[in-house]
Amino acid sequence: MSSHLSVRDRWRIISLNFDQGVNVHEIARRIPCKRNGRDRLRILNNNQVNTLRQLLYQYSTDTSSSIADRLLRRTGLGINSRTIRNYRSSLGFRPVHARSQPLINAKHAQERLTFCLSYAAAHWDNVIFSDEKPVEVDISGVVYWISATRSRPTHFQNQIQFHVVIFGAIWFDGRSNLVFIHGRTNTTTYVGYLQAAFRSYLRQLSGYYFIHDRPTWAHIVLAHDWLRRKRIRYLDNFPAVSPDLNAIESVWSWMNQYTQRNYPNSQQHLEILVQQAWNMIPQNVIRGYINNVSVICQQIISNGGWD
């Protein structure tokens, strides 16, 4: 019981509850009771809110108590689970049940299984892994690398401050030029991305296989013809909904961490950081991502094509 209550108030509470059967909520309304300090909403500064938001995204299935523990370990800041729940709500997070439908269907699973069985013993050192990627920064400076199938969080729908879209490709011994995409992609502009990305590397890539995991402009005849003229073979049987088999997705993740650490504060700064990240990722790291595709293939085979 709060120490600010007088003896009279305390006896009144006892009488209301035991003699008259009034519930505690009604008693609190009749006799205003201040919360003590530990129950007040702890106000976080901007850096702490950003850290909390990142934890909420990274550990979306954690309870509020678990998030509070993670925040304590990350920042040394101790707040209770009730405060976490309040911030979770104010930051636009909402509780939802996991989807009962898998991200891939039976057809996708069969395509993934067939592909991995075909290339189970393959060496991936003559394969080009490519993709496009939108990069967005909200008004708080948090960077989002948005996958092709995922929209940005609803809470930030109208708060995007800086935005770029990039196209790039990697292979065992190198990487392409990074292309910044302006405007919409169509059949002509996609071939333009290929030309800009590979213009300095076409001779060394003769005979390579080409992977692009988005079934859009990468699958048009115009793009296939361009690749064929450059003696680059397109992997037509690369399965849909399989970003885990495209090693460049891991490169985007590495670049995301680099960009986050450097806090982009303008459109130009974001573009500079993204280009720096592309240039700075070590080639041996890229080789590790490419070698890991074989491991992922074996996992897919073990799971019958499913995740």
151 and 230 assigned to the same domain: yes
**The pair of three-digit structure tokens given for residue 53, joined into one six-digit string:** 């938001």
Q: Given the structure tokens 């960009």, which residue do they identify?
A: 259
Q: Is residue 267 part of a domain?
A: yes
267 and 139 assigned to the same domain: yes
Nearest to 236 by CA among 107, 114, 147: 114
In sequence order, what DSSP letters do the residues of 77-101 get, joined into one string?
Answer: ----HHHHHHHHHHTT----PPPSS
pLDDT in the model for residue 149 = 56
14 and 118 assigned to the same domain: no
79 and 141 assigned to the same domain: no
120 and 173 assigned to the same domain: yes
Q: Is residue 98 part of a domain?
A: no
In which residue ranges of the chain is pLDDT below 70? 1-5, 32-42, 95-102, 139-141, 144, 146-159, 214-219
**The pair of three-digit structure tokens given for residue 84, joined into one six-digit string:** 């976490």
Contacts of 237 (CB under 8 A, 6+ apart): 111, 114, 115, 118
12 and 132 assigned to the same domain: no
Q: What is the pLDDT of residues 190-240, one digit of tens each?
A: 899 999 999 999 999 999 999 987 555 555 788 889 999 999 999 888 998
Q: Is residue 100 part of a domain?
A: no
113 and 258 assigned to the same domain: yes
Report the C-alpha gap between 140 and 74 in whole angstroms: 19
> C-alpha distances in angstroms, 224 versus 68, 79, 213, 258?
51, 56, 14, 34
Burial class (CB in 10 A: 0-12, 13-18, 19+), 5: middle
Q: Is residue 96 part of a domain?
A: no
pLDDT in the model for residue 178 = 98
Q: What is the CATH number of the domain that holds 165?
A: 3.30.420.10
pLDDT in the model for residue 298 = 93
297 and 169 assigned to the same domain: yes
pLDDT in the model for residue 41 = 47
pLDDT in the model for residue 100 = 41
Residue numbers of the domain that contains 164: 106-302
Q: For residue 161, what is the DSSP state?
A: E
238 and 116 in contact (C-beta within 8 Å)? no
136 and 271 assigned to the same domain: yes
Domain closes at, from 63, 90, 117: 90
pLDDT in the model for residue 1 = 43
188 and 260 assigned to the same domain: yes
Give the total number of structural domains in the chain. 2
pLDDT in the model for residue 212 = 87
132 and 61 assigned to the same domain: no
110 and 18 assigned to the same domain: no
Which H or E element spans position 58?
A: helix 46-58
Amino acid letter, 82: R
> The whole model's pTM is what?
0.66
